Structure 1
Amino acid sequence: MSLKTAWQETCKFIKMMQKSEPHLLVYLFLTAMMTATVPFIPIYFSAQILDQLIAGQFHSAMQNVYWMIGISGVLGITSKALNQRFLKIQDCSENKISQRIVEKAYQLEYEELEKTETLDEMRKADQGCNGGGSTDSQLRDLLQFLTMLFSILYSLIFVGVLIMQILKSSQTRWMALASLFFLFALYALVILIGSILSAKAGELLQKMRRDNVHNNAMSNYIGNLGQSVTNGKDIRIFQMQKLIMHLFNKTVVSADFYLAWGTTNGKINGVITFLTQLASGMTYLVIGIIAMQGTIGIGEVMLYANAILRFTTSLVTLAASYNNIAYRYEYLNSYEAFIQRPNMSYEGTLPVEKRDDGEYHLTFDHVSYRYPGQSETALKDISFDLELKKHFAVVGRNGAGKTTFIKLMCRLAEPTEGRILLNGIDIRKYAFEEYVQIFSVVFQDFKLMEMPLGENLAASANVDDQKAMRVLEEVGLSARVAGMDKGLKTQLGKENGEGILLSGGEAQKAAIARALYKDAPVVILDEPTAALDPLAEAEIYENFNELVKDKTSIFISHRMSSCKFCDEIVVFDHGQIVQRGTHDQLAGQPGLYQELWEAQAQYYRHSHQMMEMIGSQV
């Protein structure tokens, strides 16, 4: 990266960070200047003290000792305070960046979030810390870069004073200057070689980090597998420990790019260290020769030698910091590119009319949908009216388009063709946050968060305890909650602290309770009873008809017995609605529903006969 590009990227980065920390630039310069100043105080005073002790000026030497302790103490404390403040800025910046990534993910269309490339971009932005692209690392290197600049400036001041002293000496001037010129030529060569090697090391490091982004994601996943409570049973029963450790070793311990980078980086650092030590030895030799010629005193040998050495090490560190800064912008640009992704393309502004009667009329008007990157249409020319306060069942074979139908209705995807209307208005014109308020949904792959039960139900930190207990009673879970020591404040799961693990059926009941707690006018249950036993399933459906009697409800189910509770059944096949009617109507006419019903009815009859046979034998 060229100096001009690096400067432009740095300015852009500083402006980005100043949005969360307006005084960042002030703290950056003050911290760098103070950190660079502190080491030069003892260097300067030590030279004075040594010369005064040699000259027998003990009183003056002690005064300089006091000055050195006092100034070093004040500047050291100030430097520590500034560095602590800057460290806080680094930590806060990383947290705020992570927060912005999460907020951005919520602003993307859900169908965009499902794409592999979107997830990769988000992972690269979010895992910048593991990949070497975090903002706190960049701030740290910027601070180090500025600190080295100030250190070089101070060193040059001392070198300038040394040259002036040499020029004042008429007898040894040219020999001293020649020695100094040789030393600077050696340093120039060391710095040039060191910069080239540092650039190579930085390039290899960033390549390793780029290769490591996916590897980190995999190792984190595999590590979490081994520590997960929910995966513990499967790991033990199927004895997957060796498989997990094999995968962990493959992704972490045995990764080739780790070994390749470590070997090459070790060689490069070894060469840089050798050259630096060589230059250090030559520094003391040249400064010693100049001192023997009477140009400078013994104490000044230490002063100028240390100043020149600090100049060299500062330049090498400066080059390494610059390489880190330049290469890290690749990751920071990935973050910025993710943040700049367009938000929902169908963001509307209209508020949804607040209706106490819950009369929201939904219409599918010739709606078709094709998943991104797919050639086959998932839904084909769907036209459908959801009549108010009726209970619908949506059935069909796997892959028939049932869940896609629900995703479109909830604006988790946008129709490829056609439109969906709410009370006669295209739903894309409504504000998304307003629109989704009319839906309570229990998805087939629902998730309960590892947080208190009450907060799960309310989807908020503010929980109406009476309302929460009422919906738990309605789904048959109140007795279980009454037996918990902390009741609604009981933590779910064990990944975030001490909590309880709900059974599959209990978790499903809790998810249904969450849908009831929201009290939305449209309730959608996508396979809501898959984890329940037949008795619990019958109980849910018998009660649910009463619970949602004043609401529009949609049930997606593979169990045809659940359809008896619905006013109308909608049958999907290959992305199209092929049948509509009541259970009695559809079960009595040839078609897909009758085929599905007969297949399950035969199973139920067989099960009933088996139970009767077992009962007679007993």
Structure 2
Amino acid sequence: MNKSTLRERVSVTVRGYDILKKYCPGLASGKAASALITALQPFVSLWFSAQIINELTGQRRVNLLFFYVCIVLLCNLVISMLRSVLDRITSEKQAQMWDFFQKVFTDKQLSMDYVDLENAEILQQRKKAEENLFMFGNGLGQLVWGTEGLIRTAVNIIVSICMSVTLFTGKTGYGLLDSPFCIFAILLCILFGGWCSSRAAVKENKAFEKWSKENVSFYRAFDFFGCDLCMKPEYAKDVRIYGQNHAADRAFEKMQLHDREQNHLIHQMCCPEAWGGFLASLSNAVCYLFVVAKAAMGAFGVGSIVQYVGVLTRLGEGLQEAMFMYTDNAVYCSHLQGLYAFLDIPNKKYQGTLPIEKRALCDCNDNDYEIEFCDVSFKYPGSDAYALRHISLKFRVGERLAVVGMNGSGKTTFIKLLCRLYDPTEGKILLNGIDIQKYNYEEYMGIFSVVFQDFKLFSFSLGQNIAANADYDKARVEYCLKKAGFGERLAQMPNGTDTCLYKDFSENGVEISGGEAQKIALARALYKDAPFIVLDEPTSALDPVAEAEVYSKFNEIVGQKTAIYISHRLSSCRFCDEIIVFDHGLIIQRGSHDDLVADEKGKYAELWRAQAQYYEK
């Protein structure tokens, strides 16, 4: 991107402004207006100061002096008021800017294919885009600061040139000072000073970026050892029991050693700045001598010295900043390209448009939902091994289906395909005879309530966790919690369903046990009221007898809905209409519990005998 054309840079920048307009409307334009007013203020003061000094050293007309003073005070008052209003408008948006930028990532991730969220290469791409935005201070954030800088630079250059015209047109009668060669030399000095400062800033910026990139892994290590390992409860117990604080101490020692080794990069950042400042000061000194010489020869009054010295300084700063911005634009455009590369990751999953007919499941006898796996095989992206092979089965609404097998046999993969988190590598999955890929994706997802083994609860209120929404039906939430066996604990909650879980966002948040979390997850599945309910070993932490009791009770709760139970414990699924036995990605047996146990040579009977000691009471 550093060698990109101006057109490419403009295209990248314009897209960045479009994103800013979508997520932070008014921020860039507000900053631009504020920068314009702020940049004009010094020139107003310079011009009126020059006129006042010239008048004091000249005719000293009181009325004119009073007029100048009133006008400059009025102008400064108006500018200050306008700037205050604009700053107030933009300050709130600026305070939330990084939250808005985080939403850019959030919106993208929520719209991405689930398969991409488990892709290590894409996760690394996301991490790189996030680091470009938040760690290096470039990307979208730089567009905001760049907007201010662009306006400020343009005003400095344009107004300075306009206010310095009389410096070069004023005649002294001394040939050298009035010659075009002298004027050209002064302009060259201004350009040289700006070029020196901008080159120094570019080198400093490159050294800083190199230093930042070389320290990315150490920043991550610091975050882990300094924050996660020491502060998060899930680590705190093991750290204290096993004395792992020594590991953190060693990590800090290594980071300190690394910091000392990186001192040469810090020198690379400081030296160019010093030399650039020195050379820019020399060029400014030449310009100041030129102004003083012309004033001494009678080309203009003493007050004009203040004006010309000020505008030449501003002109030099403007040219310096313009050169730096042109070079720096390539840097933050490259960071924006990294962001766009992540945002432009295509969704490969086919998005159908067919609506899913809404059917009343409990009030009517309309059980026409039928799902069929037709010779489905699947292997995970990047893997040559099949996780599932030649799966063919059919089930309807109202049936109870159990999927059992050893760990790694393909049970959870089967559920991911059913819920269309993944699409089959081979074969098709049909809903009422139609390929599920042809249905509207969100509507299809809406017919499933799933409680995964690794389900997550959030640091929101209990009711919001159940409803998965900020607004919820309180009576219905309480009903589902009681049905899931959480009624007793609910009565002890200080604020009922409005009680926050955990203490991440609320000091009054409550901690819940693993068993309580499982009941909340089951209540969430009930609240959604979907025709298909799937339990993917959410109670695996319980003992076999307790798990069987939970499943049996839940079987009564779900009524006429289709219930699919995933477990490697066979006792939990005895009540199911059909049991599917998975082994190494294949369906090797299917039937009722009694039929499968009767087949003494089958895998199910083998597992049953191995687990029988836990079922006997």
TM-score w.r.t. length of structure 1: 0.89
The amino acid of 1:566's aligned partner reads C
Segment drifting more, 55-64 vs 267-276: 55-64
Q: In the alignment, does 2:105 pair up with 1:101?
A: yes
- What displacement does 1:573 show? 0.9
Residues 162, 253 of structure 1: CA spacing in aligned structure 2 closer, same or farther, 3 A cutoff?
A: farther
* Counterpart secondary structure, 1:131: coil
The residue that corresponds to 1:501 in the other structure is: 511
The residue that corresponds to 1:373 in the other structure is: 382
> For the residues of structure 2 that align with 1:215 and 1:433, how far apart are their CA atoms?
41
Segment drifting more, 259-268 vs 156-165: 259-268
The amino acid of 1:400's aligned partner reads S
- What displacement does 1:173 show? 5.4
The residue that corresponds to 1:597 in the other structure is: 608
Check the 8 A contact 2:410/2:582 in 1, yes or no.
yes
> For the residues of structure 2 that align with 1:414 and 1:211, how far apart are their CA atoms?
40
Which of 30, 35, 40 is equivalent to 1:37?
40
- What displacement does 1:126 show? 3.8
Residues 521, 174 of structure 1: CA spacing in aligned structure 2 closer, same or farther, 3 A cutoff?
A: closer
The residue that corresponds to 1:286 in the other structure is: 290
Which of 98, 119, 137 is equivalent to 2:142?
137
Check the 8 A contact 1:371/1:378 in 2, yes or no.
yes
The residue that corresponds to 1:11 in the other structure is: 14
Alignment of 1:312-323 (within 5 A): 312-323=316-327
The amino acid of 2:165's aligned partner reads G
Check the 8 A contact 2:205/2:269 in 1, yes or no.
no
- What displacement does 1:250 show? 5.6
> For the residues of structure 1 that align with 2:265 and 2:506, how far apart are their CA atoms?
38
- What displacement does 1:169 show? 2.8
Residues 252, 445 of structure 1: CA spacing in aligned structure 2 closer, same or farther, 3 A cutoff?
A: farther
Alignment of 1:102-181 (within 5 A): 102-127=106-131, 128-165=133-170, 168-172=171-175, 174=177, 180-181=183-184
Q: In the alignment, does 2:51 pair up with 1:48?
A: yes
Which of 339, 351, 357 is equivalent to 1:347?
351
The amino acid of 2:51's aligned partner reads Q
Which of 82, 86, 110 is equivalent to 1:82?
86
- What displacement does 1:497 show? 1.7
Check the 8 A contact 2:195/2:320 in 1, yes or no.
no
Q: In the alignment, does 2:437 pair up with 1:428?
A: yes
The residue that corresponds to 1:615 in the other structure is: none
Check the 8 A contact 1:101/1:125 in 2, yes or no.
no
Segment drifting more, 23-32 vs 271-280: 23-32
Residues 574, 213 of structure 1: CA spacing in aligned structure 2 closer, same or farther, 3 A cutoff?
A: same
- What displacement does 1:500 show? 0.8
> For the residues of structure 1 that align with 2:15 and 2:585, how far apart are their CA atoms?
49
- What displacement does 1:353 show? 1.5
Check the 8 A contact 1:172/1:295 in 2, yes or no.
no
> For the residues of structure 2 that align with 1:22 and 1:515, how far apart are their CA atoms?
38
Residues 181, 70 of structure 1: CA spacing in aligned structure 2 closer, same or farther, 3 A cutoff?
A: same
Q: In the alignment, does 2:550 pair up with 1:540?
A: yes
Residues 550, 329 of structure 1: CA spacing in aligned structure 2 closer, same or farther, 3 A cutoff?
A: same
Check the 8 A contact 1:359/1:521 in 2, yes or no.
no
> For the residues of structure 2 that align with 1:253 and 1:490, how far apart are their CA atoms?
47
The residue that corresponds to 2:242 in the other structure is: 238
The amino acid of 1:469's aligned partner reads E
> For the residues of structure 1 that align with 2:489 and 2:221, how far apart are their CA atoms?
38
Which of 458, 461, 469 is equivalent to 2:470?
461
- What displacement does 1:565 show? 2.8
* Counterpart secondary structure, 1:502: coil
Residues 27, 602 of structure 1: CA spacing in aligned structure 2 closer, same or farther, 3 A cutoff?
A: closer
* Counterpart secondary structure, 2:574: helix
Check the 8 A contact 1:458/1:517 in 2, yes or no.
yes
Check the 8 A contact 1:108/1:344 in 2, yes or no.
no
> For the residues of structure 2 that align with 1:40 and 1:146, how far apart are their CA atoms?
14
Check the 8 A contact 2:197/2:273 in 1, yes or no.
no
Residues 14, 364 of structure 1: CA spacing in aligned structure 2 closer, same or farther, 3 A cutoff?
A: same
Residues 25, 96 of structure 1: CA spacing in aligned structure 2 closer, same or farther, 3 A cutoff?
A: closer
- What displacement does 1:270 show? 1.5
The residue that corresponds to 2:364 in the other structure is: none
Check the 8 A contact 1:228/1:495 in 2, yes or no.
no
Residues 27, 456 of structure 1: CA spacing in aligned structure 2 closer, same or farther, 3 A cutoff?
A: closer
> For the residues of structure 2 that align with 1:279 and 1:557, how far apart are their CA atoms?
79
> For the residues of structure 2 that align with 1:282 and 1:169, how far apart are their CA atoms?
18
The amino acid of 1:432's aligned partner reads Y
TM-score w.r.t. length of structure 2: 0.90
Segment drifting more, 510-519 vs 7-16: 7-16
Check the 8 A contact 1:359/1:389 in 2, yes or no.
no
The amino acid of 2:36's aligned partner reads M
Q: In the alignment, does 2:457 pair up with 1:438?
A: no
- What displacement does 1:260 show? 5.0
- What displacement does 1:28 show? 6.1
The amino acid of 1:311's aligned partner reads L
The residue that corresponds to 1:403 in the other structure is: 412
The amino acid of 2:562's aligned partner reads T
Which of 459, 465, 477 is equivalent to 1:450?
459
- What displacement does 1:567 show? 2.5
Residues 196, 119 of structure 1: CA spacing in aligned structure 2 closer, same or farther, 3 A cutoff?
A: same
Which of 554, 559, 572 is equivalent to 1:562?
572
Q: Unaligned 5+ residue runs, structure 2?
A: 362-366
Residue-by-residue CA offset, 1:136-182 (whole Å, 9 max, x unaligned): 321211221221121011111222110011xx332355467665544
* Counterpart secondary structure, 1:303: helix
Residues 346, 177 of structure 1: CA spacing in aligned structure 2 closer, same or farther, 3 A cutoff?
A: closer
Check the 8 A contact 2:376/2:428 in 1, yes or no.
yes
Check the 8 A contact 1:494/1:501 in 2, yes or no.
yes
Check the 8 A contact 2:411/2:582 in 1, yes or no.
yes
> For the residues of structure 2 that align with 1:601 and 1:119, how far apart are their CA atoms?
44
* Counterpart secondary structure, 1:511: helix
The residue that corresponds to 1:330 in the other structure is: 334
The amino acid of 1:460's aligned partner reads N
Segment drifting more, 201-210 vs 183-192: 201-210
Which of 226, 230, 237 is equivalent to 2:230?
226
> For the residues of structure 2 that align with 1:3 and 1:260, how far apart are their CA atoms?
34
The amino acid of 1:47's aligned partner reads A
Segment drifting more, 508-517 vs 255-264: 255-264
* Counterpart secondary structure, 1:384: strand
- What displacement does 1:322 show? 3.0
- What displacement does 1:208 show? 4.6
Q: In the alignment, does 2:37 pair up with 1:57?
A: no
Residues 13, 546 of structure 1: CA spacing in aligned structure 2 closer, same or farther, 3 A cutoff?
A: closer
Residues 341, 389 of structure 1: CA spacing in aligned structure 2 closer, same or farther, 3 A cutoff?
A: same
Check the 8 A contact 1:364/1:382 in 2, yes or no.
yes
* Counterpart secondary structure, 1:38: helix
Check the 8 A contact 2:129/2:342 in 1, yes or no.
yes
The amino acid of 1:139's aligned partner reads V
Q: In the alignment, does 2:387 pair up with 1:382?
A: no
Alignment of 1:252-267 (within 5 A): 254=258, 259=263, 261-267=265-271
* Counterpart secondary structure, 1:347: coil
Give the CA RMSD over aligned residues: 2.9
Residues 245, 276 of structure 1: CA spacing in aligned structure 2 closer, same or farther, 3 A cutoff?
A: farther
